[in-house]
């Protein structure tokens, strides 16, 4: 039987986190958009007290995935929330319930921090993820269009 654990990322996890980001980008066919490097990532994750946070998922003490998230704020709720930028489980470990456990960790953290909601995006073609999120009780926000201003 496998042993799942989830832990807060530490500065020495920077290269691992960058590796997970690259693997996720390859899966999403967006590796050409990855501009992050270890130094920039380390500074953003571990030197900025208001920066994003990372949880590392492990199976038998071996890293198998991660979730990177940060706080946002809902003016309608008058409360902060958690926005998940990336949730990734390596392909050989998918289907074992680890994604559900990792998302449950985020939900519990959001409750502890008195957040009003947890939000994220998913690519339209990723039916497996869409079905997984619906199974977890998430609701697609089809009435909204995502906009982006990219700064150089």
**Catalytic positions:** 133
Q: How far apart are CA 148 and CA 64, in angstroms?
A: 30
Cβ–Cβ < 8 Å for 60, 75:
no
Cβ–Cβ < 8 Å for 139, 122:
no
Establish how many alpha carbons lie within 13 A of residue 128's alpha carbon, considering only the half-sphere containing its beta carbon: 8
């Amino acid at each position: 039987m496998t042993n799942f654990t989830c832990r807060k990322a530490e500065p020495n996890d920077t290269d691992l986190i960058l590796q997970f980001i690259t693997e996720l980008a390859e899966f999403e066919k967006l590796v050409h958009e990855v501009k992050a490097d270890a130094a920039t990532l380390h500074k953003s994750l571990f030197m900025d007290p208001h920066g994003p946070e990372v949880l590392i998922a492990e199976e038998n003490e071996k890293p198998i995935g991660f979730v990177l998230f940060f706080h946002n704020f809902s003016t309608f709720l008058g409360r902060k929330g958690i926005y998940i930028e990336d949730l990734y489980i390596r392909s050989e470990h998918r289907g074992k319930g680890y994604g559900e456990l990792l998302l449950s960790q985020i939900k519990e953290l959001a409750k502890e921090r008195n957040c009003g909601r947890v939000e994220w995006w998913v690519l339209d073609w990723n039916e497996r993820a869409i079905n997984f999120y619906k199974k977890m009780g998430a609701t697609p926000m089809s009435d909204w269009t995502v906009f982006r201003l990219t700064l150089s």
